[in-house]
Chains A and B, each alone.
Chain A
Amino acid sequence: MDPTSLALAVGAPQTFDLLDHLDLFLTPLIYTVLIAVFSIGLGFGLGLLAGLSRVSKNRLVRLPATVYVDVIRGTPLLVQLFLWYFGSAAVFGVLPDPLVAGILAVGFHSGAYQAEIVRGGINSIPRGQDEAARAVGMTQLQAMRFVIVPQAMRLILPPLSNEFVIVIKDSSLASVIAVTEITYTAYLLVGTYFQPFEILIFAAILYLILTYTTAFLMRRLERRFRIPGYGEH
């Protein structure tokens, strides 16, 4: 049952014991996780593509990626969310599924930041690595794929985990286009029962669990891919 119909059914406003209605947050939690997971995935794909394009020697490859990064980074996510939602309504004539619009907005937004992380990672691999790869006869693409990117990936794990945590928190902005995720639900409940403190604290705890788990998993990944004798001084 969604919060509003529940409120109507029990005859709000009256005292509301959050602990009795934790299940209200189950679907919203799933929605938040969905936005986060798909946005991170989409953002990673876009980030890899745009980040690699931005280190290309070819201007025509660099240009679209640069425009993408600059436009996305230079405008608020909140505005982008509205644009994805109402923009697609203007283009296609129907309002899109808020969840889909939310994933696209947050994903494309994160992609721009991840592109910069990828670019930074690639640029911090010493030139000699590329030269050594080219000197044994590898093509530019092979050098990228087998030498530069595998090393850059390890380097960018810490900033990437930072970005993933940000995406989880940014997913809360999707509440403005009525995605029934954690923040949207908390907002509805607060509006119905006027008990902002406990409801919002509970929402915050849910986010904390998600972000902490992500950070923990990323640290395990870092440890797993650590190169013996390298970068541990």
Chain B
Amino acid sequence: MSDVLIETRDLRKTFKIPIRQPTKPGLRDRARWTRKEGVSSAEPPTVPPTEQPQAPNKFLAGLRKEYRDLEVLKGISTTVRKGEVVVVIGPSGGGKSTFLRCINRLTEPTSGEVYFEGQLITSEEKGKGAGATDINEIRSHMGMVFQSFNLFMHLTAKRNIMLALEKVRHKTPQEAEVRAMEALNQVGLSEKADSYPGELSGGQQQRVAIARALAMDPKVMLFDEPTSALDPELIGEVLDVMKKLAASGMTMIIVTHEMGFAREVADRILFIDQGVISEEGDPDSFFTNPKNERTKQFLKRMLTERAEAVVVPGEN
């Protein structure tokens, strides 16, 4: 019980997507938007706006807005233990990234709960009282690595790492610099300390981003497709850093499309598809003996793409 680091209970996320209505004829009728909540995504987006009784918009009579609900997460419940490496895979648009972003509330879940070290962090209460969540404090204990690196473009690699140490952890510049250099060393980039992100390759930028997260001594690292934006020849260096990190006992939740890496590094695989965990298990049984039909199809597709990508020299 006590070694559970993160628990999510019935995590749901619904995005409201505005639907543009075709302009109706008539000079006075300028309604192109109509407000209608709770339409499921299964319904066609062209429901005539006149069918729903609705209050006209307070400010612009006749201007209404219709939303289509896009249910991206339909109840994700799982636990992550300390030191566990969980790899999340699944088809695009299935909700993997949204799930990851809901854990540190970079995306606010619509409903459901997230517990971090036994503390509910999705509570509505604000401020510092009991039961309230200081989400900034919580986030500073969860490192996050993005698909597009998101290094601060105006700061050198070292300063990228120092910024949060100084402003969030309130370390002195000297302490922050020492810690930044340690972190850069950990990802093998200490010689690039004074380079700006724009002067680094994608792989180097992502390693600096990992160092930036590591320097905060996070209790868990969240990776959101860390190698998807990289040139193929740069993927390896980032995966190597992550493998070392996993071996060092860091708790990690990784969204990725790198199947070989997933199999090698994961303690557990979560297959998220259409907003639910449709299959989960240890990597060996997951990859060799998937039970779910969609999992089988997905894995088959991933493996064939891989095979096609390999061009054997001399063959035509």
Contacts and interface: CB of A to CB of B under 8 A. Distances in A.
Given A131-B106, A147-B152, A227 B140 contact: no
Contacts of B141: 137
Interface stretch (A39-47, A77-85, A138-146, A198-206): A138-146
Contacts of A142: 167-168
A154 B209 CA distance: 23
Q: How large is the interface on A (under 10, 10 to 19, 20 to 34, 35 or more residues)?
A: 20 to 34
B154 A131 contact: no
Q: Helix, strand, loop or mixed for chain A's interface?
A: helix
B196 A132 contact: no
A110 to B, nearest CB: 26
Given A128-B148, A135-B144, A136-B164, A230 B139 contact: no
A175 to B, nearest CB: 42
B170 to A, nearest CB: 11
A31 B104 CA distance: 56
Interface residues of B, number: 32
Given A137-B216, A151-B154, A229 B148 contact: no
Nearest to A153: B154
Given A135-B104, A135-B106, A154 B140 contact: no
Interface in B143-167: 143-144, 146, 148, 150-154, 163-164, 167
A131 B74 CA distance: 24
Given A227-B153, A228-B196, 15 more contacts: A132-B150, A133-B152, A135-B146, A136-B164, A136-B212, A136-B213, A137-B136, A142-B167, A142-B168, A146-B167, A150-B154, A228-B195, A229-B199, A230-B154, A231-B198
Interface of A: 126, 128-129, 131-139, 142, 146-147, 150-151, 154, 227-231
21 contacts: A128-B146, A128-B148, A133-B164, A135-B142, A136-B139, A136-B143, A136-B163, A136-B168, A137-B136, A137-B137, A137-B141, A137-B164, A137-B168, A142-B167, A227-B196, A228-B198, A229-B196, A229-B199, A230-B154, A230-B196, A231-B198
